[in-house]
Amino acid sequence: MKVKGYSYVTSIALISIIPFLWVVMLSLKTNEEILNNPLSLPSQLIFSGYGNALEIAPLGQYLINSAIIAVVSTALNILISSMAAYTTTRFDFKLKKPIVIIMSISLLLPITALIMPVYSIIRFLGLYDTKTALILVYTALDLPMSFFILRAFFLTIPKELEEASYIDGSSFLQCYGRVILPLTSPGMITAGILHFIFCWNEFLYALTLTASHGARTVPLALNYFTSQFAFDYNAMFSAVVIMIMPSILIFIVFQEKIIEGLTAGAVKG
Amino acid sequence: MKNNKIWLYLFSAPLILFFTVFLLAPVIIVFGTSFMEWKGFSGNITFIGLDNYIAAVKDPEFIVSFQHTLIWIVLQSTIHVIIGVSFAIIISRKFRGWKILRTSFMIPNMISASALGFIFLMVFNGQIGLINSLLRKLNLEQLAHNWFFDPSTAFVSVTVTWLLFAGLIMLLVLTEIGTIPDSLYEAADLDGASQWQKDLFITIPQLRNVLGTCMIIAATSKLKEFELIYLTTKGGPGTGTMSLPLYLYNTSIVQNNFGYSNMIGTVLIALGLILIFIISKVFKIASDD
Give the C-alpha separation, A148 to A50, whole Å.
39
My answer on whether A53 and A39 are in the same domain is no
Does B243 reside within a domain?
Answer: yes
Over residues B54-62, the mean pLDDT reads 96
Q: Are residues A231 and A151 in the same domain?
A: yes
Answer whether residue B36 is part of any domain.
no
B21 occurs within a structural domain:
no
State pLDDT tens for residues B72-113: 999 999 999 999 999 999 999 888 889 999 999 999 999 988
Q: How far is A65 from chain B (nearest CA, A)?
A: 16
Nearest to B14 among A83, A233, A247 (CB): A83
CATH code for the domain of A235:
1.10.3720.10
- Is it the case that residue A227 has pLDDT exceeding 70? no
* Judgement on whether residues A3 and A134 belong to the same structural domain of the protein: no
Mean pLDDT of B15-32: 96
Within an 8 Å CB–CB cutoff, is residue A177 touching chain B?
Answer: no
Helix (H) or strand (E) holding A26: helix A2-26
Beta bridge partners of B38: B45
- Among chain B residues, the shortest Cα distance to A102 is held by B19
DSSP B193: -
> Is the separation of the CB atoms in B81 and B221 below 8 Å?
no
The reply to whether B224 falls in a domain is yes
The DSSP call for residue A252 is: H
Is residue A33 located within the same domain as residue A162? Answer: no
**Nearest in space to A203 (alpha carbons), one of B228, B265, B23, B254:** B228
Confidence of residue A259 (pLDDT cuts 50, 70, 90): confident
Asked if residue B223 has pLDDT above 60, the reply is yes
Q: Is the pLDDT score of B251 beyond 70?
A: yes
**Please, are residues B79 and B85 in contact by the beta-carbon 8 Å criterion?**
no
Query: For B116-129, what is each residue's pLDDT tens digit?
Result: 999 999 999 888 88
Which pLDDT band, with edges at 50, 70 and 90, does B288 fall under?
very low
Q: Are residues A199 and A264 in the same domain?
A: yes
Mean of all residue pLDDT scores within chain B: 91
Closest CA to B98 of B111, B110, B107, B89: B89
Asked whether residue B37 is domain-assigned, the answer is no
DSSP class of residue B39?
A: B
Neighboring chain B residues of A112 at a CB cutoff of 8 Å: 223-226, 245, 248-249, 268
In contact, B209 and B188? CB cutoff 8 Å: no
Rounded to 5°, angle at Cα A222 from A221 and A228: 85
Instruction: Tell me the β-bridge partners of B36.
Output: B47
Average pLDDT over residues A237-258: 90
Tell me which of A2, A4, A9 to substitute to probe the interface with B (most B C-beta atoms closer than 10 Å). A9
Please write down the HEC assignment for all residues of A117-184.
Answer: HHHHHHHHCCCCCCHHHHHHHHHHHCHHHHHHHHHHHHHCCCCHHHHHHHHCCCCHHHHHHHHHHHHC
A212 and A167, same domain (yes or no) = yes
> What is the three-class DSSP state of B47?
strand
**Measured between CA atoms, how close is A115 to chain B, in angstroms?**
8
Select from B118, B216, B260 the residue whose CB has the most chain A CBs within 10 Å, as the one to mutate to test that interface: B118
Model confidence pLDDT, tens digit, residues A18-72 = 999 999 999 999 888 888 888 888 888 888 888 888 877 688 899 999 999 999 9
- Contact of A149 with A39, CB cutoff 8 Å: no
Bridge partners of B46? B37
Burial (Cβ within 10 Å: 0-12, 13-18, ≥19) of residue A223: middle
Residue A229: predicted pLDDT: 58
Task: Assess B240–A contact: CB distance below 8 Å, yes or no.
Answer: no
Residue B193 scores a pLDDT above 60: yes
pLDDT of B2 over the 60 cut:
no
Q: Which of B2, B4, B11 to mutate to test the interface with A (most CBs of A within 10 A)?
A: B11
What CATH number is attached to the domain comprising B178?
Answer: 1.10.3720.10
The pLDDT of residue A263 is 81
Question: What's the domain count of chain B?
Answer: 1
Mean of pLDDT over chain A: 89
Does B192 map to a domain?
yes
Give domain status of residue B195, yes or no: yes
Regarding whether A115 and A186 lie in a shared domain, the answer is yes
Whole-angstrom distance, CA of residue B101 vs CA of residue B108: 13
With cut-offs at 50, 70 and 90, classify the pLDDT of residue B3. Answer: low
- Domain with B162 in it: 59-283
Determine contact: B215 vs chain A, CB below 8 A. no
- The answer to whether the CB atoms of B14 and A80 lie below 8 A apart is yes
Crossing angle (nearest 10°) for helices B208-221 and B167-178 = 170
Is B104 in CB contact (< 8 Å) with chain A?
A: yes
pLDDT at A115 over 80: yes
- The shortest CB-CB distance from B217 to any of A114, A123, A266 is to A266
The answer to whether residue B12 neighbours chain A at the CB level (below 8 Å) is yes
Separation CA A79–CA A83 (nearest Å) = 6
Tell me if chain A has a CB within 8 Å of the CB of B79.
no
Nearest residue, CB atoms, B213 vs list A110, A255, A269: A269
- Among residues B116, B119, B100, B97, the alpha carbon closest in space to that of B108 is found at B116
User: Do A100 and A173 sit in the same domain of this protein?
Assistant: yes
With contacts defined as CB-CB under 8 Å, which chain B residues touch A247?
110-112
Which of these, A237, A218, A198, lies nearest to A65 by C-alpha position?
A: A218
Average of per-residue pLDDT across B253-267: 95
Mean pLDDT of B139-166: 91
According to the model, what pLDDT value does residue A268 have? Answer: 56
Q: Does the pLDDT value for residue B289 go beyond 50?
A: no
Give Cα separations from B118 to A3, A138, A236, A258, B173 (angstroms).
34, 23, 10, 25, 29
pTM for the structure as a whole: 0.91
Rounded Cα distance between B202 and B185, Å, is 7
For chain A, helix, strand, coil in percent to 5 are 80, 0, 20
B window 111-130, beta carbon within 8 A of A: 111-115, 117-120, 122-123, 127-130
The verdict on A120 and A105 lying in the same domain is: yes
Which chain B positions have a beta carbon within 8 Å of A1's beta carbon?
194-196
**Rounded Cα–Cα distance for residues A45 and A269 (Å):** 47
Within a domain: B4: no
Domain hosting A29: range is 1-46
B268 and chain A in contact, CB less than 8 A? yes
C-beta atoms of B12 and A84 within 8 A: yes
Count of structural domains, chain A: 2
The per-residue pLDDT for B61 is: 96
CA neighbours closer than 13 Å in the CB half-sphere of residue B9: 5
Sign of CA dihedral A23, A26, A31, A33: negative
Give the up-direction half-sphere exposure of residue A46: CA atoms within 13 A in the CB hemisphere.
22
Quote the CA–CA distance of A183 and A170 in Å, as a whole number.
16
**3-class secondary-structure state, position B181:** coil
Cis-peptide into B237, omega within 30 deg = yes
Q: Is the pLDDT of residue B46 over 50?
A: yes
Give mean pLDDT, residues B1-14.
Answer: 83
Mean pLDDT of A112-126: 95
Cα(A183)–Cα(A90) distance, rounded to whole angstroms? Answer: 14
Name the E strands within chain B.
36-38, 45-47
Same-domain check for residues A26 and A138: no
Share of residues in chain B with pLDDT > 90 (%): 66
pLDDT band, very low/low/confident/very high, at A269 (cuts 50, 70, 90):
very low
Q: Are residues A99 and A26 in the same domain?
A: no
Stretch A113-135: mean pLDDT: 96
Does A155 lie at the interface with B, CB-CB under 8 angstroms?
no
Residues A179, A241 within the same domain? yes
Asked if residue A70 lies in contact with residue A246, where contact means CB atoms within 8 angstroms, the answer is: no
